[in-house]
Amino acid sequence: MDFPKVAAGTVLLAVFTVLGTYFFGGFTGLSTGGVIALILGVTLSYALGVGLMAAVFHSSRFYDDNAHDAALDQFKDRRKDT
């Protein structure tokens, strides 16, 4: 996975979300601080979500396959008993 493409996609998604909020009147009645907080909140939430999902997929390297295969027969025997 290419980090610059993922980062650009995340920023683009955040920009579209903020623009959509603006066009649908989401900024009405907000102060300058509120607008900045909204923009930062949306951007950081997307970045955190993408970063955590990337960490999940990166850490899924099948390191526990040996333990899973070793216990698989034991679980199959338990299913036959029921």
Match 């300058």 to its residue by tokens: 32
Domain range list for the chain: 3-81
Secondary structure percentages of the chain, helix, strand, coil, to 5: 80, 0, 20
pLDDT in tens, the chain (82 residues): 677 888 888 889 888 988 998 899 888 898 999 989 988 998 899 889 988 988 888 777 777 777 777 778 777 766 665 5
Q: Which residues of 57-80 are buried (b: 16+ CB within 10 A; e: fewer)?
A: eeeeeeeeeeeeeeeeeeeeeeee
